[in-house]
Amino acid sequence: MKRTVKLWLALIVFAAFSYNIAIATELQHPNIVLILADDLGYGDVQCLNPQRGKIQTPNLDRLATQGMVFTDAHSGSSVCTPTRYGLLTGRYAWRTRLQKGVLDGGNDEPLIAEDRFTLGAMLSGHGYVAACIGKWHLGFQSDARTVQGGKAMGQNGLPVGAKILGGPITRGFDTFWGCSNARTMSSLIEGDRVIEMIETVDMLPRLGQRAVQFIESHIASSSKESPFFLYLPLTSPHTPIVPSDRWRGKSGLGDYGDFVMQTDAIVADVLKALDEQGIADNTLVLFSSDNGCSPAADTEKLEAAGHFASERYRGYKADIWDGGHRVPLFVRWPGKVKPGTQSDQLICLTDVIATCAEIIGHKLPDTAGEDSVSFLPTLLGKETPVVRESIVHHSIQGKFAIRDKRWKLCLCNGSGGWSKGKTTSPQLYDMQTDPEESNNMAQHEPDVVARLSELLKRFIERGRSTPGTEQANDVKVNAPYGTLD
């Protein structure tokens, strides 16, 4: 009898232990790898542009089949710095002092305020080892300012030994290895110090190598039981367009095509490292781009050769039209995201922080992620109402557009960026029937113009576009509401 009781107790203890293990496994935070290409157009990825795309991207195509493809995803801006701000904070950058353009990249006051909650800080607070490897371009200063006549530093960047002030390791990341931006890429930074001057052609392959080393060293370290967050903002295929010798001539479309193929290969190296370390099944991988393809890629020549980097969408980087900010977005999460799936859900890269917060069970405070909406229900295939109902677009000139699922209202003449083309303001396009933005419907749909104008005004004045307590913008935001600016 006693033996039977002991056996039952043992079974109960074992069952309870097994249950706890199962719960712990279910709640285990995944590793997160976020890869951000620089100036990669929506149509530069072959699987997104099979008819009008001529660059081979086999590794991104494979990643797309392994998870979910978003066909209506957008960067928070049509240029670099503001998109990165939105990605890491969940807040539109036009709420800050950066009302147009990008930071110079030399000696800039950090755009992310010291007390601003970031994606890296959130994940670090939940036990993640957070690493940023790549292009920062969100501003920092230095104890060795190389300025002349009040102008920021030039092509040579900061000298070896210079200390970085206000960089990534002060904005939520445990480690940083990379550079500020394209103009100062030769200054290679580790942590908060410039450690080496390198050739620009070497930066991309070295970023890939460093990312692989981070994954390998994490698994080999005493911290291997902790999840990691790898933010990998690549320097390609942005200018300088410098494919290495191994890739030169591979695409048949010049240096830009070669550089895109090299970018694709870097992604493959990172995914391979996850496989080799046996952690791919517990790693959430996101891949996107900070804006559309730049005209600096010689887009006219590419189009003449049959390659349309914006696919069918109008415009390119810097523009308010969709070619400026509609970006590839692939998400792979084995066992959670069904392979080979596709969503036309409206997504903004500002949504990443809210999505990650929901994954790890963190409730964002009202003062964080003011423009971030979790798309986790979409990733998990939940039958829920539309997650994001509208999105605000912003161009290099500081021009605004606001979009719901069907309509897009552009409050400017022309592209708001670098592309030519005269239009009247406002511009209203039916994105369901006219994704090319060729037929301005503003005069025919005044009620839609008024509704979207009022919605943009409310988003600006409330300091947020999501439910919650009103917040203050950092500066006064000047925006037209349906009138010529």
Instruction: Walk me through the domains of the chain, giving residue ranges and CATH numbers.
Output: 29-379 (3.40.720.10), 390-462 (3.30.1120.10)
The stretches in the chain having pLDDT less than 70 are 1-27, 106, 144-156, 385, 481-485
Residue 9's pLDDT is 36
- CA torsion through residues 333, 335, 336, 341, sign: positive
CA distance 78 to 64: 23
Burial 213-244 (b: 16+ CB within 10 A, else e): ebbeebbeeeeeeebbbbbbbbbbbbbebbbe
Specify the pLDDT at position 263. 98
> What is the torsion angle, in degrees rounded to the nearest 10, for the CA atoms of residue 41, residue 44, residue 48 and residue 51?
130
Cβ neighbours of residue 357 under 8 Å, at least 6 residues apart? 122, 363, 364, 369, 374
- What's the confidence (pLDDT) of residue 423? 86
- State residue 385's pLDDT score: 63
The model carries a pTM of: 0.92
